[in-house]
Chain A
Amino acid sequence: MYGWLQLVIFLSLLLLLTKPVGLYLMRVLARDGKTALDFVIKPMEKTFYRVLRIDPDKEQSWRSYSLSVLAFSLIGFVFCYAILRLQHVLPLNPQRLGPVSPVLAFNTTVSFLTNTNWQNYGGETTLSYFSQMVGLVFHNFASAAVGLAVAAALVRGIARHAAHAIGNFWVDLVRIHLYLLLPICLILSVFFVSQGMIQNFQPYVAARGLESTPQVIPQGPLASQAAIKLLGTNGGGFFNANAAHPYENPTPLANFIQMLAIFLIPSGLTYYLGRMVNRQRHGWAVWCAMSLLFLAALLLCWHAEAVGNPRLSALGIDPAGNSMEGKEVRFGIFNSSLFATVTTAASCGAVNAMHDSFTPMGGLVLLVNIQLGEVVFGGVGAGLFGMLVFTLLAVFLTGLMVGRTPEYLGKKIEPYDVKLCVLIVAILIFCILGFTAWATKSAWGKAGMSNAGPHGLSEALYAYSSASGNNGSAFAGLNGNSSGYPITLGLAMLLGRFFMIVPVLALAGNLARKKKMPLSEGRFPVSGLTFVAVLVGTVLIVGALTFFPVLALGPVVEHFFMTATNSLF
């Protein structure tokens, strides 16, 4: 009952916040947009332009925009890698932690650079405060801003008429940081501190528990990192246990606000889309499609976890308790399922329960969320541009069905647009299935799996789905530090990020260049129930057809082992 009530409150609040956030995004993502913070931030913004020699009035072609994204990301890599390797000589290291090893520094830097935040390390045992709050948090902000900038460029491309430019990357980057991410994170951080989250530079505390067992309680600047971890859909935990740690998720209210923060910007972006293209109903239709997919995933996951393992139930163990392994007692079945669905739908990767401990069907839902391209609200920016790619494919497919030239918001969809959309979808598929196949066939891949049989396959599949989809959560039974995993996971993250962004920007440039035609009578409507159904169908069919065989060999087989045989997994 409380679960249903919380779900209604969660979705109602999300719906209520969508319009104001969308309207604010309109102002932030417009070069001359006015906001209530102008009197404080405008001078800072101008200073940035002056120091970095940016001409805010000069817009870029898609090619120039792409090269700017790549250059910025490369510099960001070197900056963070150097910090991790030199943390032992840098300040704010009260635990005197040594330098991060080269392979771990590579994997971690790539992970944060690509907004994945896959963690092959435990934060409290590996990284200094300086590494966390300067090296990693820099990427938490920057990678979210890059995703949002790319989504804004694509929306501009759709909205513009016979234009050659899609915006200025450097202006987008500065404005997103100053007007959007920093102010909201400041508010969120203060709220988290009010809930009991720590924010200090103290050395770790030595304490004795009730049984006089000595223990070390880590400290650190947590609240400020947690805020951007959620708002930027990054997901990298300050502590190894992420949002299951009592410091990192101290109260039920903090847990609720964390989930809301993950969906906040992706949800607002749908309203931004509607406003920009002058078709508000289209923006809401995209929101409805995302919500339907989210609800379906949540209900399936919640049901699977609530039913638990039937063989344990047959022994008289309460079904509500028999799937609690790997879950926080404070959050229970519903809040663990909701958080897991939100974090995998949204490319976040923060966790308040261990996904590897979910039932096979619960784990399957989380896998599918990632494999669909994380378009169910999705990552900051990445969710919207992913969903727009599916929208173009849906429009193209319906055009083929009725024998008309596909048309999206007055623009003809031509072969080049479809080629780019297919390229974007294919990259994710290639990375997930290709790397998983390699790992499951190789000695290094098998050595890193802690489980045999279908669950071992699920672990490897989850790892490469998470890396390629830039999610960052894990089936933690897999040892990501084992032999070939750190490099292949790093490559999957890079490919899944930049090999998607480049064709998305090419698509933006091509759409911007087209002339808008008057809407024709027989065009496929991009709002209303039919459009929502076709869009949801396209997302599901592309995802299901591609990944169903491997899912059948992993979680589906595991489910039948659990329910129908005497084998124990």
Chain B
Amino acid sequence: MMDMFYISLVLFFFGICIGYVRMCEWLARE
């Protein structure tokens, strides 16, 4: 159970990182 929590936490973080890549692209257009 706790394993799933920590793996999900890291997956969530890397999901945010992909959003962060898109934010950097968006900054270029601003």
Contact, CB under 8 Å: A67 / B18:
yes
CA distance A74 to B18 in the complex (A): 12
The answer to whether B3 touches A102, judged by C-beta atoms less than 8 angstroms apart, is: yes
Q: For chain B residues 1-30, which have a beta carbon within 8 Å of chain A?
A: 2-3, 5-7, 9-11, 13-14, 17-18, 20-21, 24-25, 27-28
Q: Are the CB atoms of A102 and B6 closer together than 8 Å?
A: yes
Q: How far is the CA of A362 from the CA of B27 in the complex (A)?
A: 41
Partner of A81, one of B7, B14, B21: B7
Asked if B27 and A420 make an inter-chain contact with CB atoms under 8 angstroms apart, the answer reads yes
User: A103-111, A129-137, A453-461, A523-531: which lies at the B interface?
Assistant: A103-111
Judge whether A502 and B24 touch: CB under 8 Å. Answer: yes
Task: List the count of A-B residue pairs having beta carbons below 8 Å apart.
Answer: 58
Beta-carbon contact of A419 and B21 below 8 Å = no
A70 cross-chain contacts in B, Cβ below 8 A = 14, 17-18, 21
Known: A67-B18, A494-B13. A102 touches B24 (CB 8 A): no
Please report whether the interface of chain B is mostly helix, strand, loop or mixed according to DSSP.
helix
CB of A376 within 8 Å of the partner chain: no
Which of B6, B13, B28 makes the CB contact (< 8 A) with A416?
B28
Pick from B10, B11, B24: contact of A420, CB below 8 A: B24
B20/A106 in contact, CB under 8 A: no
* CA distance in complex: A20, B2 (Å): 49
Contact assessment for A419 and B13 in the assembled complex, using a CB-CB cutoff below 8 Å: no
| Most A Cβ at <10 Å: residue of B6, B7, B9, B18 | B6
- Please tell me if the beta carbons of B21 and A510 are within 8 angstroms of each other in the complex: no
In the complex, the chain B residue whose C-beta lies closest to that of A107 is: B6
B3 in complex: contacting residue of A74, A85, A506, CB < 8 Å? A85
Whole-angstrom CA separation of A419 from B6 in the bound complex: 32
Distance in angstroms between the alpha carbons of A498 and B20 in the assembled complex: 10
Given contacts A74-B11, A494-B13, contact A66 B2 (CB under 8 A): no
A63 part of interface (Cβ distance < 8 Å): yes
B10 touches A419 (CB 8 A): no
Summarize A's interface: helix, strand, loop or mixed. helix
In the bound complex, residues from chain A placing their C-beta under 8 Å from that of B9 are: 106, 487
Q: Complex: how many Å from CA A3 to CA B2?
A: 50
Task: Please give, as numbers and ranges, the residues of chain B lying within 8 Å of A506 by CB-CB distance.
Answer: 21, 24-25, 27-28
Instruction: Evaluate contact between B20 and A102: CB separation under 8 angstroms.
Output: no
Question: In the complex, which residues of chain A have a beta carbon less than 8 angstroms from the beta carbon of B17?
Answer: 70, 498-499, 502
Of B3, B5, B24, B28, the most chain A CB neighbours within 10 A belong to: B24
Chain B residue contacts of A503, Cβ below 8 A: 24
| Given A416-B28, A419-B27: A67 and B21 interface contact (C-beta under 8 Å) | yes
**Alpha-carbon gap, A416 to B28, bound state (A):** 6
Q: Are A502 and B20 in contact (CB under 8 A)?
A: yes
A23 an interface residue at 8 Å Cβ cutoff? no
The residues of B that contact A436 with a CB separation of less than 8 Å are none
Alpha-carbon gap, A487 to B12, bound state (A): 14
Q: Judge whether B7 and A103 touch: CB under 8 Å.
A: no
Collect the chain A residues with CB atoms within 8 Å of residue B6's CB: 81, 102-103, 105-106
- With both chains docked as a complex, state the minimum distance between the C-beta of B27 and any C-beta of chain A, in angstroms: 6
CA distance A63 to B18 in the complex (A): 10
Q: In the docked arrangement, what's the CA distance between A73 and B14, Å? A: 9
Please name all residues of chain A whose beta carbon is closer than 8 Å to the beta carbon of B5 when the two chains form the complex: 102
Additional A-B contact list (4), CB under 8 Å, known A499-B17, A502-B20 = A74-B11, A74-B14, A103-B2, A423-B24
17 contacts between A and B (CB under 8 A): A67-B18, A74-B11, A81-B6, A102-B2, A102-B3, A102-B5, A103-B6, A106-B6, A106-B9, A420-B27, A423-B24, A487-B9, A491-B13, A498-B17, A502-B20, A506-B25, A510-B28
The 3 closest A-B pairs by CB, nearest first: A102-B2, A106-B6, A506-B24
